[in-house]
């Protein structure tokens, strides 16, 4: 089972896959988790940064009104974190990306699953939208571990990193590869096994490919899954050419 999943993005509900993975097989967990969003009270705000994009897409507008950016975002961390704890190796590092509204609740659920919080990291974006409670120009990454402490490869990396957000996105919440690469690269060694069970556009898979880390990526939405597989293949082809 494990071997069949390594090095590819699997289209499935992560809950089903996690149950089948053996204990202590994962060297690092990295996920930008799904959660409900709120509009922030400003009529010109949207997850895409432009109001018009929502207005021209009735389906997306309907989802957004229900607190969703994409279809699959109903899962709670408490549903998968116990299994993540079981399958992570002792001392392994984990990273979970969230926005400010979900930070407190997610930290609580990470601690409830017996993990130890190492730090809260900040990703400072080059773009953002207006908001009645200040502009949302940062996102958070909860950095945690299972059990005893293991040092980072490079202790000179700042906890607040500025990023350029991707322009040609295939996913509404696509993250910059460089950011994911920095964190995974700092917590793992070559050939280590990284898990992302909410893979979206496949950013973690691309980062692991660049870093020569093995990966298991899972995405439930067939459209994102297909687009992310194509993205990964394209990256792999480009690197073979040069």
Ligand X SMILES: C[S@@+](CC[C@H](N)C(=O)[O-])C[C@H]1O[C@@H](n2cnc3c(N)ncnc32)[C@H](O)[C@@H]1O
What angle, rounded to 10 degrees, do the helices at 177-187 and 203-211 form?
Answer: 50
- Long-range contacts of the stretch 193-196 (C-beta < 8 A, 24+): 193/6, 193/25, 193/26, 193/27, 193/28, 194/26, 194/27, 194/28, 194/29, 194/30, 195/26, 195/28, 195/29, 195/30, 195/31, 195/84, 195/87, 196/29, 196/30, 196/31
Our CB check for ligand X shows the closer of 93 and 175 to be 175
The nearest distance, CB 177 to ligand X, in angstroms, is: 8
Closest by CA position to 106, among listed 67, 146, 141: 141
Single out the segment in contact with ligand X by CB under 6 A; choices: 58-66, 102-110, 112-120, 213-221: 213-221
Inter-residue contact 176 to 152 (CB < 8 Å) = no
Of 105 and 147, the one with the shorter C-beta distance to ligand X is 105
Question: Pick from 68, 194, 224, 231: which binds ligand X (CB under 6 A)?
Answer: 224
Binding to ligand X by residue 235, rule CB under 6 A?
A: no
Among 7, 8, 15, 226, binds ligand X (CB under 6 A): 15
Based on the shown chain and the rule CB under 6 A, indicate whether residue 70 belongs to the binding site for ligand X.
yes
Q: Does 34 bind ligand X (CB under 6 A)?
A: yes
The binder of ligand X chosen from 145, 146, 209, 220 (CB under 6 A):
220
CB of 55 to ligand X, least distance (A): 23
> x/- string (CB under 6 A) for ligand X, residues 174-193?
xx------------------
CA 209 to chain centre: 16
**Closest C-alpha to 24, from 191, 195, 213:** 195
Should residue 211 be labelled a site residue for ligand X when binding is judged by CB under 6 A? no
CB distance 192 to 215 below 8 Å: no
Q: Verify binding: residue 195, ligand X, rule CB under 6 A.
A: no
Tokens of 52: 């018009």
218 binds ligand X (CB under 6 A): yes
Q: Is 93 in the site for ligand X (CB under 6 A)?
A: no
Query: According to the binding rule CB under 6 A, does residue 60 interact with ligand X?
Result: no
Q: What sign results for the dihedral spanned by CA atoms 117, 199, 9, 159?
A: negative
Interface positions with ligand X (CB under 6 A): 13-15, 32, 34, 70, 72-73, 75, 171, 173-175, 197-198, 200-201, 203, 218-221, 224
């Amino acid at each position: 089972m494990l071997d069949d999943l390594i090095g590819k993005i699997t289209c499935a509900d992560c809950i089903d896959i996690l149950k089948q993975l053996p204990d202590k097989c994962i060297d690092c967990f990295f996920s930008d988790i799904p959660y409900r969003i709120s509009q922030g009270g400003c009529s010109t705000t949207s997850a895409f940064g432009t109001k018009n994009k929502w207005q021209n897409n009735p389906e997306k507008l309907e989802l957004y009104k229900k607190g969703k950016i994409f279809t699959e975002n109903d899962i709670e961390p408490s549903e998968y974190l116990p299994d993540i704890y079981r399958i992570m190796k002792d001392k392994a590092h984990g990273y979970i990306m969230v926005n400010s509204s979900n930070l407190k609740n997610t930290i609580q659920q990470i601690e409830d699953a017996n993990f130890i919080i190492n730090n809260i990291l900040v990703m400072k974006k080059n773009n953002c939208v207006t908001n009645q409670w200040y502009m949302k120009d940062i996102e958070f990454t909860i950095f945690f571990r299972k059990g005893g402490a293991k040092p980072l490869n490079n202790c000179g990396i700042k906890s607040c990193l500025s990023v350029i957000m991707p322009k040609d996105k295939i996913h509404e919440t696509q993250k910059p590869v460089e950011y994911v690469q920095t964190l995974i690269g700092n917590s793992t060694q070559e050939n280590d096994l990284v898990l992302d069970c909410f893979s979206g556009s496949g950013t973690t898979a691309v980062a692991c490919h660049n870093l020569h880390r093995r990966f298991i990526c899972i995405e439930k939405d067939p459209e994102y899954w297909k687009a992310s597989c194509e993205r990964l293949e394209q990256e792999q082809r480009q690197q073979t050419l040069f």
